[in-house]
Amino acid sequence: MSVSEAPRVLVIGAGAVGSFYGAILKRAGCSVSVVLRSDYDAVAADGFVIDSPLGDLSYRPEHVHHVDDIHSGSAQSAPDIILLCVKILSTADRVALLRPWVGPHTRIALIENGIDIESALAAAYADNPLLSCVAFIATSRVAPGHIQHSAYGRLVMGTFPHGIDANCRELADLFEAGGIRVKRSDDIVAERWKKCVWNAALNPLAVLADGADTETMLDAPGGEQLVRELMREVCAVAAAAGYPLDADRVIDGNIEGTRNMPGFRNSMAQDYLNGRGIELDAILGNVIAIAQRRGVPVPRLQTVYVTLRMRGF
């Protein structure tokens, strides 16, 4: 990525999250193209409309590709940077999804939720730099190609599996030039575990509780205690995986932070209530798989997970 030339960015999965971070890189001077499925027609015709507290982030991508189009990339046409922002569903083969687009010098950056979501990509594209990002953002798709960014947007970013290399620094600089805050972390997997404490405990539980909001869950008889115990199980798995957290402090902080907000439906609860797929394995199943490999008992997490599998998720 030379300074003289605008980096070519391809956002794969340009939904509410991907199109927002594409807009940020566009503001930083990048050339931004996208790969879409459901909103292809709307975006190909009119580009993205993005309302944001940062201002009007609407933009027209350089190229709009449909995910099912046959495409054979060449080293010349391959993007400098891929932002992979798809939901991680059991039906999605992300390695195959990237295949047509990855060139020999393409940096791959994930902005996705979950634990242990990098290793398959790292193995398949061992020669490409892999950056892993955790997004803290409130954004939603209100209509085809129409995104409402409500709040936040901060990224935590690192090189996978650890460290902060030049690729990471350059991409972080671009995001900051586009107007968002970025924390560079030399231990991004630890950051994922930290976020996972909340997500693995409260996201699937909200689906099992039929889309209940955070207040309903915490205020039910025994609710806060169960949530704390689920979080403690996640902390135990993190520690066994080599990422010890200060469990008491993390759990107290999570509960307090959640109680300080008005009750809200988390993203998985919203996906569930809107009939969309849920990222059950990325958020919880992978945690349980690691727990089993390491011999960590997670009876509560497993009860939630298996019961959701009984419901067909």
- Residues of this chain that interact with its own copies (CB under 8 A) are 205, 208-210, 212, 216-217, 220-223, 225-226, 229-230, 299-300, 302-307, 309-311
Residue 300 C-beta: closest distance to its own copies, Å: 5
Nearest Cα to Cα of residue 83 among 189, 147, 155: 155
Supply the minimum distance, in Å, between the C-beta of residue 151 and its own copies: 26
Instruction: Mention every residue, 6+ apart, whose C-beta is less than 8 A from residue 36.
Output: 13, 14, 43, 64, 65, 66, 67
Report how far residue 122's alpha carbon sits from residue 128's, in angstroms, rounded to the nearest whole number: 8
Nearer to its own copies, 148 or 302 (CB): 302
We find the least distance from the C-beta atom of residue 95 to its own copies, in angstroms, to be 23
User: Which phi and psi (to 5°) does residue 229 adopt?
Assistant: -70, -35
Return the number of the residue (106 or 286) whose C-beta is nearest its own copies: 286
For residue 163, report the phi and psi dihedrals to the nearest 5 degrees.
Answer: 95, 175
Token reading at 209:
């509780």
Query: Which CB sits closer to its own copies, 155 or 298?
Result: 298
CB of 246 to its own copies, least distance (A): 23
Which of 223, 253 has the CB closer to its own copies?
223
Q: Which is nearer to its own copies, 155 or 205 (CB)?
A: 205
> Of 190, 206, 183, 193, nearest to 258 (Cα)?
206
In 3D space, the residue among 228, 286, 139 whose CA is nearest the CA of residue 217 turns out to be: 228
Q: CB of 268: closest distance to its own copies in angstroms? A: 14
Lookup: tokens for 14: 């340009």
CB atoms within 10 A of CB 261: 9
